[in-house]
Amino acid sequence: MSSWSIAQANLTSVGVLGFIFGFLASRVKSDVRIPDAIYQFLSIYLLIGIGLKGGHSLRDSNLSEIFTPALTTVACGIIIPLLAFFILAMIKNLSAVDRGSIAAHYGSTSLVTFSAALLFLESNKIFVEGFAPALLTVMEIPGLVVGIFLASRSSSEKVGWGATLKEVLLGKTVLLLVGGLFIGFITSNSGYEKVSPFFVDLLNGFLVLFLLHLGYLAGSNFGEIKKVGPKLAIFGLLFPILGGAIGVGAGTLIGLSVGGATMLGVLSASASYIAAPAAVSVALPKASPTLALTTSIGITFPFNLIIGIPIYLRFAELLGN
């Protein structure tokens, strides 16, 4: 598949077009946003659905197959926020607390970017290892902890680690993903088949609605992007490529398929806007929520969704060959 074919397939996918539509609708002041209660339902549905699907796929994997990818994912989850924290030092007006906050957001992962990438690869019949959703859960935790730790070590910020770890481990994202993985792994084939028409077959449709809403949010907050400053905006565009290259390279090195290496690249390139804001608000109350959240959802998320996913796939194809 040529680079242009990959990019074209992604740009014309329903999810990406839904995001663009939501963005444009917000710019012409049309209210197509999804009500908050439905938005919460969609986020819970996606977390449980991805977890169930991944957990059931894990039944066909053995521990030796998962151990090395999981260890590699943890390593990426440590390296990515470290790199982000020290690269952000080049932006002189950023405090250590804000650098740690942003590093935690970029060390964590984006469920929706992961879901969109998985949909894109599956629609193009590119094989992805069944344990990929487990890697999403594995990377979520170290990235948050490392970013918060760096902020606390580099400033006078006092971090309450008990409350922080409780939010990281028992927050909605990690808890629902782990719960979905566990249920999907434990349940019988017949039990899984009974719920798969709702949680698996409809997953892509609900994802499009979620992306439509995120497009609307990105368009509504477009003015905030100008406030983050050009250097931070450049970071939001270029750092995902570095993180994606690290993830793809690591995945290829340990023998993942092209699709699996792409997904590890996507995880390494994505930035959280669900789990990270909640954990950071508890651990680093003095950090600016606008800087990290605007950069992650306003700049990095659209970049990954529209351009980044095809880039990481192309990386994986080149390294795989």
| pTM to 2 decimal places | 0.88
In angstroms, what CA-CA distances link 222 with 64, 94, 227, 279? Answer: 46, 21, 10, 24
28-51 average pLDDT score: 88
pLDDT of the residue at 1:
57
In angstroms, what CA-CA distances link 317 with 106, 191, 259, 267, 320? Answer: 24, 37, 9, 17, 5
- 250 or 161, greater pLDDT: 250
Report the SS3 class of residue 55: helix
- Domains, the chain, ordered by start: 3-218+248-320 (1.20.1530.20)
57-74 average pLDDT score: 86
In angstroms, what CA-CA distances link 20 with 64, 223, 272? Answer: 41, 17, 20
pLDDT of the residue at 160:
73
Give φ, ψ of 271 to 5 degrees.
-130, 140
pLDDT tens across 275-304, in order? 788 788 888 888 887 888 889 988 999 999
pLDDT of the residue at 156:
65
243-266 average pLDDT score: 97
Distance of CA 224 to the CA centre of its chain: 21
Report the SS3 class of residue 66: helix
Res. 165: pLDDT tops 60:
yes
The DSSP 8-state label assigned to residue 156 in this structure reads S
Rounded CA-CA distance 224/51 in Å is: 33
Rounded CA-CA distance 253/273 in Å is: 29
pLDDT tens across 171-213, in order? 787 888 889 989 998 999 999 999 999 998 898 899 899 889 8
Q: Which helix (H) or strand (E) holds 320?
A: helix 309-320
Rounded CA-CA distance 136/266 in Å is: 10
pLDDT tens across 100-146, in order? 999 999 999 998 999 999 989 988 899 999 889 889 888 988 988 99
- 171 or 99, greater pLDDT: 99
In angstroms, what CA-CA distances link 33 with 204, 285, 302, 304? Answer: 19, 29, 17, 22
pLDDT of the residue at 161:
74
38-62 average pLDDT score: 86
Rounded CA-CA distance 23/303 in Å is: 13
pLDDT of the residue at 137:
85
Res. 70: pLDDT tops 80:
yes
